[in-house]
Amino acid sequence: ADQEAMRLARAHQDNLTKPRGALGVLEEVAVRLAGAAGACPPPPPSPAALAIFAADHGVHAQGVSPWPQEVTTQMVANFLAGGAVANAFAAQVGASVTVVDIGVAADLPAAPGLVVRKVARGTADLSLGPAMTSAQAVAALEVGIAVAGELIAAGAACLITGDMGIANTTASAALICAFTGQDPAVATGRGTGVDDATLDRKIAIIRRGLQVNGITGTTGGGADPDGTERGADPADAAEALRRLAAVGGLEHAALAGFILGAAAARVPVILDGVIAGSAALAACALSPAAVEYCVAGHRSAEPGHALALDHLGLRALVDLELRLGEGTGALLAYPLVGAAVRVMHEVATFDSAGVTDKNTQTAAG
């Protein structure tokens, strides 16, 4: 991040006609975006583009979700018809919607708004071995990078992560364990709604998946405790890629690429919930500076999400007990991000407005 742009952003905030710090968390968002863009004020994050990466999961066969796998396909059709909550929220906040088939098990009929980049017909079962081959994970990462680049080339100034994949909270919890070292018992939640017995099974499956894939301890991601950025250690990056492939989903890999693509273009990316958070762990293990371009849109009800955000050093903007995915939480955060940046462009300073600053007690103007 551009430290000078961040310093200028903080100084500018302090001159605006409001008590210092009175915009709370939004002031830090504006500073973060100034650092990301290398400009103060940062450019307005408009227009915004939501990309929903859809894929299926071999681990679904272990009974970790009450929803049948075909719901992934059905919901893709629902997104394309404009009938899902993500569509309604995108319409509300003025974001475009792109749906990417990165690994849905079924064939999907061509449709406007559907981008078919299928890497595989779902992952293998992570509890029996690697969910993806290395080549598949890299292919999905590259799709994510490409989609980010295409949306930005088409004018997007803010990317928003979305996902669809029945059973993907299982892969997310496994990734969170793999990248933070947390135990599955604390990182695993009820997803879109499982009972106690299924939750216990889900935890056991994730534990087995980590063992089968030889995942112990943590690797990379985030900043060191003293705040300095870690260099992209090739060994760390190789192990990060191995872990992503071992227990991740195709949409997780694509989302990690999407985040990297946003960071490469210095465009902010608003993360949705636990799926995006776990993908961000992988992205930041591959390239630690990527976190500087991430804004945590919302805090999911999934327990693993808070662990992921803590590890990344991010604070969520919206906390409304959503547990839907699709990008819904990030879409709700988008106008808040827009408001934070707009302040930097449009609000008067004490001097320009002739308002007395308590910190100087000199009436200006």
Residues near its own copies, by CB under 8 A: 16-26, 66-68, 70-71, 74-75, 77-78, 81-85, 87-89, 91-93, 192-193, 301, 317-324, 328, 331-332, 335-336, 338-339, 342-343, 345-348, 352-356, 358, 361, 363
Do 278 and 330 form a contact (C-beta atoms < 8 A)? no
Tell me the residue length of the chain: 365
Please, what is the minimum distance in Å from the beta carbon of residue 283 to its own copies?
25
What SS3 class is residue 247? helix
Of 215, 234, 217, the closest CA to residue 285 belongs to 234
Q: Are 280 and 175 in contact (CB under 8 A)?
A: no
**For residue 232, what are the β-bridge partners?**
none
Annotated active-site residue 346? The verdict is no
Residue number with CB closer to its own copies (133 or 349): 349
| Exposure string for 111-139, b = 16+ CB within 10 A, e = fewer | eeebbebbbbebbbbbbbebbbeeebbbb
CA distance 37 to 258: 17
According to DSSP, the residues that pair with 296 across neighbouring strands are: 271
- Terminal-residue alpha carbon distance, the chain: 35
Q: Which residues contact 74 (CB under 8 A, 6 or more apart)?
A: none
The β-bridge partners of 98 are 51
Which C-beta is closer to its own copies: that of 11 or that of 339? Answer: 339
Please give the biggest Cα pair distance in the chain.
Answer: 71
Alpha-carbon distances, residue 308 vs 19, 93, 112, 291, 336 (angstroms): 33, 26, 34, 12, 22
Catalytic residue among 251, 292, 302, 326: 326
Residues facing 298 on adjacent strands: 318
> Taking Cα atoms as reference points, which of 39, 51, 17 lies closest to residue 161?
51
**Active centre residues (catalytic):** 326
